[in-house]
Structure 1
Amino acid sequence: MQKLPVEHGHGLRGLDRHAWVTLAEREVFNLVNTSLAVPHLEIEARLWDAGTTVPGAPRRVSFFPHILSEAINNLVAGGNLELTSHTTKGGATAELYVPRDARRRTTAISAATRRKAMLYARFLRCSTTFGAAGEAVVRTSLMDAMPVGYLPMVDKPVFGEVPRIGTADRLPGALDSGAWLVIKDRDTGIPLPPHALLVEIKNRRMTLYPRHNEVHQLLHKAALVQEQHPDLAVVPLLICRRGHDRLFWMAKDLGFLVHATRAQYFTMPEDTTERHVDEMRNELGLADLKLVAPDTPARIISLFTSTIPKTAAATAARWSSVGSKLLPHYKELRLDTIDNETRNSTLATLRLDAEAELAAAGVKDPILAWALDPEGDAEGDWY
């Protein structure tokens, strides 16, 4: 097993979890104390997505979301910040962190609270378009990549939702998209048997970790497809806005692909203008908002034209020999109703069983640092 360092952010090395949390507390407090009212998504946008300048650090420092959450909880528990709810004139409710010490700035905090709540309500309106916008980007990208060797599994709409593969039983929820990838043999030029590219699209604000049920929705469906079609070369693909480092480690071990777009695709809601969007980008730190419109097409090009054709065979082989063998764990972890203790223990058991499957497949030096040990983790629960 590869011995990877336990990191809790980017930009600094040699810090343990406590040091990362302490540093995050300082940065979160400074942000809220300066801005006066800040929603959680802005904290992550500024201190995780964009990162911040820290004295002595060689580059910008970004804090993983689980570290920011712990820092926020500590600041609230310690009486430095408080969480307040504000309802806008339109009826939307925003939860905002504000300084507990409001002396001589009560009016300023109230004004900032109203402003940030209004911007957050605007974000919520945009968020209703995220799902369809992300799917549109992926499907049009696949259409553009058809000359490389992609064929749609579903024609209406092209590269649309896939309820089943072939004549097998329906999946427990359709895949967001799917494609047959036909690659030619480098030496003979003869087309090889097709790869089944199974796609789930999570164009959401959250950063995905190995424990999130959204990850296991894809893995459960892909494992079922492999069970239904044992000889099929299956390539599961998860497309998300951001993924934690450990999610990519997990993907490498089990045999699936993760692509982080680092873009929040959306379509323009009614009564929303470009000026409104710029205000969200600037005042909420949502610099990755990317409009999807006929005159501003968004595509994910290199993923489909370069990355996947190069990695499909190896990914499918690893999935067939390792990842597809762990279906019962995915079936439980895909549920959003299990508690944190059950989720952590199930993920830990998944890792143990994955280690056995990797050994049986002859995989040398797997990563396996993407889940907690069943006996616990000296660093504590990292999510």
Structure 2
Amino acid sequence: MLGRDLSFGSLDNAAVLTTLNLEEFTPTGQYIVAVEVKNIRSWIYRSTAELYQLLYKAAQLQLDHPTHRFVPVFVCRRAQYMTNQMAEALGFYVISTKRQYVPASVAGRELDEVNTELGYDLEPAPASPPPALVKHFTATLQSVAERTASRWSVTAQALVENFKALRNDRLSNRDREELTHELLDIAADIHDNHRGTITNYGDLGTHQGVTTASVLEDDVPF
């Protein structure tokens, strides 16, 4: 990517996003969108290891290419509310598909039975991208790209080592909780030092609980 191999891990996808002034149809900005997709059953919380795989890669890219504007995008089945709040504050973008895709060949009675008996939301992978997913990239992301990239350029420098530690899926629950608290505390300091650039850290809550047990699925507003 950008003329070199990614020694810290490959991305699932990437694209160049050019934002437009819709009145004059002139470009207003250009951003590199780094995409990671996790088609897994588990909800994505602020402490989930899979999330930090993307954040570490995107932070390394930002440090290697400081003049470029990056927008990290994480696509998953379900993200918990506080994950979305953290994304807005730190400068990345989360897409919850609210469904989990399986190969199209799996469609039929057996799939229906699994969904009915287990309460799953498995769907055969569509032949073309779902309209709701397309809208995120063609409309919503356009409107927040500048804000997101600006926040990410600050976040990447301050938190790259925290991202590296939290991407380790072998951490104990206690270590993961402590590291997540540390990340949120540093994020709060970033807010103090870059007031006006990064906002909404009050929504992160540095000591409101970061483990998957802290919020029940029924409490999540989706």
**For residue 214 of structure 2, what is the aligned residue in structure 1?**
382
Q: 2:161 aligned with 1:328, yes or no?
A: yes
Q: 2:173 aligned with 1:340, yes or no?
A: yes
Alpha carbons 1:200, 1:237 under 8 Å: kept:
yes
**1:53-84 alpha-carbon deviations (Å, 9 max, x no partner):** xxxxxxxxxxxxxxxxxxxxxxxxxxxxxxxx
Q: Secondary structure at the match of 1:338?
A: coil
Q: Secondary structure at the match of 2:33?
A: strand
CA distance in 2, matches of 1:192, 1:254: 22
Alpha carbons 2:101, 2:123 under 8 Å: kept:
yes
Q: Secondary structure at the match of 2:77?
A: strand
Alpha carbons 1:180, 1:196 under 8 Å: kept:
yes
**For residue 8 of structure 1, what is the aligned residue in structure 2?**
none
Amino acid at match of 1:369: L
Q: 2:138 aligned with 1:305, yes or no?
A: yes
Change beyond 3 A, Cα 1:285–1:317 = same
CA distance in 1, matches of 2:64, 2:156: 15
Give the TM-score of the pair, scaled to structure 1: 0.51
2:204 counterpart (358, 361, 369): 369
CA distance in 2, matches of 1:206, 1:371: 23
TM-superposed deviation, 1:233: 1.0
**1:136-162 alpha-carbon deviations (Å, 9 max, x no partner):** xxxxxxxxxxxxxxxxxxxxxxxxxxx
Alpha carbons 1:210, 1:247 under 8 Å: kept:
yes
Tell me how large the CA RMSD over aligned residues is: 2.4
Change beyond 3 A, Cα 1:355–1:323 = farther
- Structure 2: gaps of 5 or more residues: 216-222
Q: 2:68 aligned with 1:232, yes or no?
A: yes
TM-superposed deviation, 1:341: 1.4
CA distance in 2, matches of 1:211, 1:305: 29
Q: 2:181 aligned with 1:355, yes or no?
A: no
Alpha carbons 1:254, 1:319 under 8 Å: kept:
yes
Q: Secondary structure at the match of 1:211?
A: coil
CA distance in 2, matches of 1:304, 1:298: 11
Amino acid at match of 1:382: S
Amino acid at match of 1:277: L
Amino acid at match of 1:353: I
**For residue 44 of structure 1, what is the aligned residue in structure 2?**
none
Structure scoring higher RCO (CA < 8 A, sep ≥ 6) equals 2
Q: Secondary structure at the match of 1:367?
A: helix
Alpha carbons 2:30, 2:69 under 8 Å: kept:
yes
Give the TM-score of the pair, scaled to structure 2: 0.85
**For residue 255 of structure 1, what is the aligned residue in structure 2?**
91
Change beyond 3 A, Cα 1:278–1:180 = same
Q: Which of structures 1 and 2 has the bigger CA Rg?
A: 1
Aligned residues: 210
CA distance in 1, matches of 2:139, 2:73: 14
Amino acid at match of 1:178: A
Alpha carbons 2:60, 2:156 under 8 Å: kept:
no
TM-superposed deviation, 1:185: 4.0
CA distance in 1, matches of 2:28, 2:11: 24
Q: Secondary structure at the match of 1:207?
A: coil
Q: 2:175 aligned with 1:175, yes or no?
A: no
Alpha carbons 2:32, 2:71 under 8 Å: kept:
yes
